Amino acid sequence: MLHRYQLILEASGFSIPCEGHNPAAGFVCVRRTMAENEEEAGRRAIEDLLAEPKVVSMVQSTEERFGTSDSCKVRVDACFRIGWLRWTFSAIPQGFIFYEEGEEGE
């Protein structure tokens, strides 16, 4: 049976140009997915995130700067089930919170 999940994802090892600032080293975002369990939800959310055009562009920027994108990592910071009402009527999270090198976990 599929359940509704909301996840907080943290991406690190990137080099994302930010006008007027140092390049962002990573970002945090919230995404939703349907899955059988938390492990599958994490896999699906990361897979979907890495397929988003904005994130594809961030990976490409990192490749251009470092010559590889091997440093780009995404992990699940938190995963929790949400109910039908929240899934149906609350805004779907889509943005990113960027951070510079050394700001992780602040």
Q: Where are the domains of the chain?
A: 3-100
Distance CA 4, CA 95 (A): 19
Report yes or no on whether pTM surpasses 0.85.
yes
Which pLDDT score is estimated for 18? 87
Strand partners, 79: 7
Q: Which tens digit of pLDDT belongs to each residue from 28-45?
A: 999 999 999 999 999 999
What single DSSP character describes residue 57?
Answer: H
Q: What per-residue confidence (pLDDT) applies to 105? A: 52
Q: Give 77-103 pLDDT, tens digit per residue.
A: 999 999 999 999 999 889 999 999 876
Report whether pLDDT(15) > 80. yes
pLDDT at 104 over 70: no
